[in-house]
Amino acid sequence: ISLKKINNLQNHLMLFFTGFTRFADEIEKDKINSITQKTKEYSELCGMVEESIKILNQDIEHLHDFGKLLNESWKLKKSLSDKVSTTFIDNIYEKGMKNGALGGKILGAGGGGFILFFVPEENRNRIMEALKDLLYIPFNFESMGSQIIYYKGSEIEI
């Protein structure tokens, strides 16, 4: 997608640290153990990838559909295992949605770590206030790929 669309998407995303970590292997084992009973859900999630690509390739005014799709994918992800979310995570998600997010998701396996919200720019301040007890993590998309960064004495080298 164009740099303009990438920047627009990035300006709609807000990342927060939930304040605790989790053991992803336990969550993933639970998902794997139930995979044969959840083929419909996994199929729907795979279909959402194609749908998200279509949205991102449309005109910028359709970008909010991406946030709504994130919301649908979050609901599906939660249905894969009762370990994906907790009451604490559900409360964070609900607070984000009530304050202007169109969608969001826990990154990784679930259960903790980082939560990402899709937020129209006019609602960013409301989200910041509503989630002020969480650590907000500003970030930028990287187009250079993986890089090795290390600390040497008093300077950082890439």
CA distance 121 to 51: 23
Model confidence at 28: pLDDT above 80? no
User: How do strand 155-157 and strand 114-118 relate by DSSP bridges?
Assistant: unpaired
Q: How confident is residue 112, by pLDDT bands cut at 50, 70 and 90?
A: low
Q: How confident is residue 120, by pLDDT bands cut at 50, 70 and 90?
A: very high
DSSP 91-153: HHHHHHHHTT--EEEESTTSSSSEEEEE--GGGHHHHHHHTTTSEEE-----SS-----EEET
Model confidence at 99: pLDDT above 60? yes
Q: How confident is residue 111, by pLDDT bands cut at 50, 70 and 90?
A: low
Model confidence at 37: pLDDT above 70? no
Model confidence at 69: pLDDT above 80? yes
Digit-coded pLDDT (tens) for 77-97: 888 777 678 899 999 999 999
Instruction: Supply the pTM of this predicted model.
Output: 0.79
Average pLDDT along the chain? 83
Model confidence at 16: pLDDT above 60? yes
Q: How confident is residue 31, by pLDDT bands cut at 50, 70 and 90?
A: low
The torsion angle over the Cα atoms of residues 106, 94, 120 and 19, rounded to 10 degrees, is -50
